[in-house]
Amino acid sequence: MTDNKKLISWVNEIQELCQPDNIHWCDGSDLEYNSMITAAVEKGIAIPLNPEKRPGCYLFRSHPSDVARVEKRTFISSKNKSDAGPTNNWIDPTELKKTMSTLYSGCMHGRTMYVIPFSMGPVGSPLSKIGVEITDSPYVVINMRIMTRIGTKVLDVLGSEGEFVPCLHSVGYPLSPGQFDPEWPCAPMEQKYISHFTDERLIWSYGSGYGGNALLGKKCFALRIASVQARDEGWMAEHMLILKITSPEGVSKYITGAFPSACGKTNLAMLVPTIPGWKVETVGDDIAWMRFGKDGRLYAINPEAGFFGVAPGTSYQSNPNAMACVEKNTIFTNVALTDDDDVWWEGIGYEAPDHLIDWKGNDWYKATSTEPAAHPNSRFTTPASQCPVISPDWIAEDGVPISAILIGGRRPSTIPLVNESFSWNHGVFLGSIMGSEITAATISDQIGKVRRDPFAMLPFMGYHIGDYFSHWLDIGKKTSVDKLPRIYNVNWFRKNPEGKFIWPGYGENSRILKWVFERIDGKAEAIKTPIGNLPTVDSLDLGGLNVSKSEIADILSVDKDKWIKEAEDIGNYYQIFEDKLPIELANELDSLKKRLVE
């Protein structure tokens, strides 16, 4: 097991508090995984899929109240409220621990308490971190085995004195003797808590069994807690994909990218280039941990071992590599079930059959049903090693050197197709203002406004937004300018007056990656504009692309009037930083305003 006294003491403490019937230390073996899957099938929790179509695949259905991250019930519980900042929900840690300890008391009656030692990043890598999740959910154990490296090998690296992040989770549904256990136990919404005690590097989650609320290595550790560790230790924990791009000459570069949801992040990470001779490989699809190497460059690892992807909209057109990933050994959650025990979801690329069993377990008919067959946030959990274009470097212990950082939201106007920042500080400024335009909202006066999501981290910063950007700016001072990644703002979502997307996206985005690649090498032309360096139309590889040069010129244009309004909106948005707006960002905004009127 382990001789780590801190871990043994903590496990004993939680056992006494939660009072499970049994304790199981997870060893991470195939035997353990298969036995847990078998038990889940026997209990009716998991549905085995057609072994000829999807070998090793299973379908789970959550409770309708437990289908996504619950941001309103997610808390940053620092000692000082000012450390959490205006963008996080804060509760005093003493008060929160008292409330949650009452909920945890006896919460695992009738259940097994699983102890999951896990490594975020390759086991033993100097860039990795260890966590231990205690949970009473077999679903969590099954998914954590795919998403992280778990088990005995992690305990071996932890040793007797190693540090770890304690992660406590319970579905919040104790069982009395003989009490019926539902297929998806969870607590009412008002009892759900996803809490981060950042001063102690401690995570407590109660009441939800779904996704980032329960797989505590995901957003809770890898971003919220890790972002605080990164600030204190001089590295970066970011909500970013990592890809490797190789030219026809065999030269490779590594690029990270921060994109809010519905902006093509996973598709870009697994992109199939449309331009001859270029190759893209996947290092990570969601999270990047970056540290400085001995050469002064930033090196990134993907701390995860799997993909926890949104199913709806994933198809052989949008992401053929993701579709190949989920052909075997995959856990599906809240997708629809076909009559021959396969899966289906909206946007899968082919029509629904006449009949399905929907994500709630009810009959669904193409002719008459009005609700989606799959939940819009339905998911697949699949091993990263199954990705056809996974890079061998995805498990590099020292990480991969980053040459560029892409950022981008969903903007139908104003933001050009691609824009290179003037400097590191200017790139941080662009990251601070990124976001997506609201196209549908309950409150009609919100439509057309920009929802800012800086570096796609708004729900995941573990501390004050102003301090977060100060840390980004500090990173830029730790090495020479030529060794920092260049920062590029991209926008695949510009529309024409008829409301149709101008840029085709998907594999055609490789043309933008090529321009970025060539800019880094000093081989591609750009025009200096008030907002940054933009490609000339001729510097983009447009061969075989069914988009006119006039349309390309349009999505590479800078409308000064729109940008003057944008600058005004940025000034209003910056008020949320309170008194912690870094002076560098204020200066960048002032400089932008001056350039726009020159």
- Taking the chain (598 residues) in runs of 10, the rounded mean pLDDT of each run is 96 98 98 98 97 98 96 97 97 98 98 98 97 98 98 98 98 96 96 98 98 97 98 98 98 97 91 97 98 98 97 95 98 98 98 98 98 97 98 97 97 97 98 85 60 96 98 98 98 95 96 98 97 97 94 96 97 96 98 97
Secondary element (H or E) of residue 323: helix 320-325
pLDDT tens for residues 282-336? 999 999 999 999 999 999 999 999 999 999 999 999 999 999 999 999 999 999 9
Residues taking part in catalysis: 263
Which strand (E) or helix (H) includes residue 116?
strand 112-120
Burial grade of 81 (CB within 10 A; 0-12, 13-18, 19 or more): middle
Annotation: CATH topology of 5-47+73-234: Phosphoenolpyruvate Carboxykinase; domain 1 (3.40.449)
Q: In one letter, which amino acid is 39?
A: A
Element (H, E) at 487: strand 486-490
Going by the DSSP 8-state scheme, the letter that residue 464 receives in this structure is -
Q: How far apart are CA 226 and CA 223, in angstroms?
A: 5
pLDDT at residue 295, rounded to an integer: 98
Q: H or E segment at 281? A: strand 279-284
What's the CA gap between 487 and 374, in Å, rounded?
37
Fold classification of 307-386 (topology level):
Phosphoenolpyruvate Carboxykinase; domain 2 (2.170.8)
SS (H, E, C) 144-211: HHHHCEECHHHHHHHCCCCCCEEEEEECCCCCCCCCCCCCCCCCCHHHCEEEEECCCCEEEEECCCCH
Please give the Cα distance from 344 to 291 (Å, whole number).
40
What is 370-426 written as a DSSP string?
-S-SS-TT-EEEEEGGG-TTB-GGGG-TT-EEEEEEEE----SSSS-SEEE-SSHHH
> How far is 223 from 88, CA to CA, in rounded Å?
14
In this prediction, residue 440 carries a pLDDT of: 52
Q: Report the distance separating Cα 585 and Cα 563, nearest Å.
A: 17
Instruction: Render pLDDT for 245-295 as a digit per residue (tens, 0 to 9).
Output: 999 999 999 999 999 988 889 999 999 999 999 999 999 999 999 999 999
3-class state of residue 483 by DSSP: helix
Instruction: Report domain 238-305+391-597's class.
Output: alpha beta
Identify whether the C-beta of residue 359 lies closer than 8 Å to the C-beta of residue 371.
no
Look at residue 1 in the predicted model and tell me its pLDDT.
82
Give the DSSP per-residue string, 215-276: -TIIIIIIIIIHHHHHHHHT-EEES-EEEEEE-TTS-EEEEEEE--TTSSHHHHHT----ST
Query: Using CA atoms, how far apart are residues 221 and 230, in angstroms rounded to an integer?
Result: 12
Written as six digits, the tokens of 521 are 């090498």
Per domain, the residue ranges of the chain are: 5-47+73-234, 238-305+391-597, 307-386
pLDDT at residue 447, rounded to an integer: 62
pLDDT of residue 342: 98
Q: Please state at what angle helix 465-475 crosses helix 424-433, rounded to 10 degrees.
A: 160
pLDDT at 329: 98
Kindly give, in sequence order, each residue whose CB lies less than 8 Å from that of residue 571, ignoring residues fewer than 6 positions away: 589
